[in-house]
A and B are shown apart, each in its own frame.
Chain A
C-alpha cells in the first residue's frame, strides 16, 4: 500500500499549495483513488472564465501506472473526446511514456496548459483539430460559445 501513502502526500501538497487555477478534492472521502479537480480555463484561451470539472482516477498500481484524466464538463477541444466520457489524451499519460517520478500536480498543470495550447497532431477529435489548424477564428468562437453554455 505504498501507493496510498504517496497519493495522500500528493493530495495534501496540492490542497495546501494548489497550482494556479486548479483546485483538487476527493470525489469520495473514503476513496483516495478518485479525485475531483476544479480547473479554471486559462487566460488568453477561449476557455477563459470557464470552470471545468475534471475527474482524475488513479490506478491501484500508481505511481507505476499512469492516472487517467477526463472532463466531466463538456469542452470543445481537439484533445478531449466529445462524448459523455470526455477522456483527455495527454502524451505523458500514455503507458509507454509514463514515469513514476511524474507528479499529479505536473499532470494537472500540463492538462491546463493543453487547454491554452491544443496539440492538433495528437488529436482525438479530428474534425476539431482540422478546424483548429485551418480556421482558428471559428474554432475559438465555438469553444467560447461552449464554455459559456456548459462551463459557467
Chain B
C-alpha cells in the first residue's frame, strides 16, 4: 500500500475505541522488542515498513505527517531514516500474538479499583490493596509483640504495648537526669533504689519555686523600667525649669527664697547645685566663646585686608614686568625684520648671479668677447673675474652688509 492510501486508511479508521490501549498499566514486564519506538508501548495495530521496522499505525501516521516534506510521496523511517514509500499492514502473526498476550495478562477481567469486603474485619478494601490487607493490615489478624512475643490481635496491640512487662521504659526520674532504662517488670525495683526517685518531690517543689521567682523577677524588672523612665522625665523637666528660672530672675530668687522657703527649699536643694552651676558654667562658656568668635572675626578681617593689598601689589608688578617684556618683544621683532630684509637683499643678487651663470653656460664657448656681453647683463658683477662666475655675487653682499651695519 503506498503512502496516500495509508494516510487515507488512517483517516477513515474508527478512533472510537473502547479503551485507550496505551493508557494501560501492564502488570507483567514485557519484552522491549514488543515496544513501539515512538510511543514506547506494546504495538497497537502494528504496520511494517520496507526496512522491516514496525510501528503502531497511529504513531507512524503522525510521524509521516511531521516528517514528510510537502506532498512528496516519500518519508524517512523514524528508526533508520531510510526513504520509504510503501507501508505494509502485513506484520508477522507472531508479533501480533505476543502483543495480544501481554494485554491478556494485564486485562484478566478484574478492575483493580472495585471494593471487596474483608471476611474477617468486614471492612471494604480496594481490589489492588486487598492482598496486602489480607496478609498484613487486617486488624483481626494476630501479630506478636516485638518485646515479649505474646500473640495478640492487631487491634489490641496498642493496649498491649502500654502494659507489656517486657517493653523497655525509662526511670520515673528520667526528667531529673536518671539515665536508667529497663524493662517494665524491673522498673519498680530500680525505682526503689534510685536516689533520684526519692528526690522527686523535692525537685518538684524547687522547680515550682524557681518558676514563681522567675515570674516575680520579670514583674520587678518591668516595674523598674517604668520607674527609670519616670525619673528621667522628672529630671529633664527640672533642668528645663531651673534654666528658665536662672535666666529670668537671679535677683528675684532671694525674695522667693524668703517667701516660700519651707515648701520649695527642700525640693530645690536636692538638684540645685548641679543645675545652677551648670547654667552658670554654660553662660560663662557662651560669653567666652562669643569673645573668641569676635577676635577671630577681627583677625579674619585683617587677613582679608592684607590679602587685597598683596593682590594689588602683585598685579602692579605683573603689569610692569609685562610692559617691559612687550617693549623687548618689539625690539626683537624690529631686529628680526631688519635681518629678514638683509637676507632678502642678499638673496636677490645671488638669484641674479645664477641666472647670468646659466646664460654664460650657453654662450661661453663661442668667443672671448662674450665676457663683455655677460658683463653688460651681470651689471654690478661686471668688474670681477669671469671664471669664478656664479661665486662672484658674494662680494657685493659683503658690501651690502657693511651698508646696513652703518
Contacts and interface: CB of A to CB of B under 8 A. Distances in A.
Contacts of B78: 99-101
Contact of B38 (A10, A65, A101): A101
B40 A64 contact: no
A17 to B, nearest CB: 12
**Max count, chain B CB within 10 A of own CB: residue among A2, A5, A9, A100:** A100
B78 to A, nearest CB: 4
Given A2-B39, A9-B40, A63-B38, A101 B62 contact: no
Nearest to B65: A64
A64 B63 contact: yes
Interface residues of A, number: 12
B22 A64 contact: no
Interface residues of B, number: 17
Interface string A62-106: 011100000000000000000000000000000000011100000
Nearest to B78: A100
A99 B79 contact: yes
Contacts of A101: 37-38, 78-79
B66 A64 contact: yes
26 contacts: A2-B39, A2-B58, A2-B59, A5-B22, A5-B23, A5-B39, A5-B41, A6-B38, A6-B39, A6-B40, A10-B40, A63-B38, A64-B62, A64-B63, A65-B66, A99-B78, A99-B80, A99-B81, A100-B37, A100-B38, A100-B59, A100-B63, A100-B79, A101-B37, A101-B38, A101-B78
A5 B40 CA distance: 9
A61 interface: yes
A66 to B, nearest CB: 12
Nearest to A63: B38
Interface string A96-140: 000111000000000000000000000000000000000000000
Contacts of B80: 99
Contacts of B22: 2, 5
Contacts of A9: 40-41
A73 to B, nearest CB: 30
Contacts of A5: 22-23, 39-41
Query: Which 8 residue pairs are nearest across A and B when measured between Cβ atoms?
Result: A101-B37, A64-B66, A100-B78, A101-B79, A100-B38, A6-B40, A9-B40, A6-B39
B227 interface: no
B30 interface: no
Nearest to A101: B37
Interface string B58-78: 110011001100000000001
A61 B79 contact: no
B41 A64 contact: no
Nearest to B79: A101
B67 A64 contact: yes
A2 B20 CA distance: 11
Contacts of B66: 61, 64-65
Contacts of B41: 5-6, 9
**Max count, chain B CB within 10 A of own CB: residue among A5, A10, A63:** A63
A64 B75 CA distance: 13
